Amino acid sequence: MSSTFVHTIFFGSDGAATRRFCTELYQHGHIGKIAVALFTVQKASSRAKVYRGGKEGEGGRTMSYKDLAYYRKGEFLERLASLLAHDECGMVWGWGLDMKQSNAKHVLYIDLPQGQVSLHSVRRFAGPDYSGIWDGSNASEERVIQFCESLRCGCASATATIAAPIAKEDSSNGKNTQE
C-alpha cells in the first residue's frame, strides 16, 4: 500500500493538515496517541538533521533551528515513553545504549509490525531496558510513516505485535548496544 498521503504530511510544512492528520489518528484510542507521538518525534528528528540557520532567542542568544528541533524531539520522546509505559497493545519497546554516540547515547527502540524503530536521545526517560539489539537498519522514518498509514487505513498490521528479539550483550559493558 502506498503511503503517499502520510508522506505528504510528514515531509510537508502544512500545520493545519498535520493537526487534522493527528486528530484522525487520535480516533484510534491509545495506539493512535502512540502513533501521533511517534510521528512527531520522528518528524522532529528528521527535520533537525537538515535544518540550517537560526533565530534570536531570549537575551539576544541565537538558537539554531537544529537545536530547537532536537529540543522538541526530546519533549516528544518523553511523551512517547510515557504513552508506551501505559500501553495495553503489547508493543515491544525499551531503552538501550549506543556507546558510539558522543552526545545522544540513549536509544528508544520500538518494534512495530513494519520493523524496528530506533530514536536517539540525550536523556533516558521512563521505561524498561530493551531486550533486543539494533537491527542494523536506518529505516525508522519509513517504518513510522508506514505504521501511521496502516493505522489510518484500519489495516490489521498496524496493531499486530512482534515477538521480542533476542538480546545480545556487549561483553565490554554488559549492556545491550547497537552494533
**Counting every residue, how long is the chain?**
179
User: Within 10 A of 119 (CB to CB), how many other CB atoms are there?
Assistant: 22
Q: Give me the pLDDT at residue 62, please.
A: 63
Helix (H) / strand (E) containing 176: none
What is the per-residue pLDDT for 37? 95
Beta pairing partners, 92: 111
pTM: 0.78
Show the cell assigned to 160: 499486530
Q: How many secondary structure helices (H) and strands (E) does the chain include?
A: 5, 5
Write down the H helix ranges in the chain: 4-11, 15-26, 30-48, 65-85, 140-152
> By the 8 A CB rule, do 107 and 97 touch?
yes
What are the grid coordinates assigned to 163, written together?
Answer: 515477538
The mean pLDDT values, 10 residues at a time, for the chain of 179 residues are: 79 93 94 95 78 60 65 88 89 94 91 95 93 93 96 69 41 43
Three-point CA angle 103, 107, 110, nearest 5°:
160
Domain ranges of the chain: 4-158
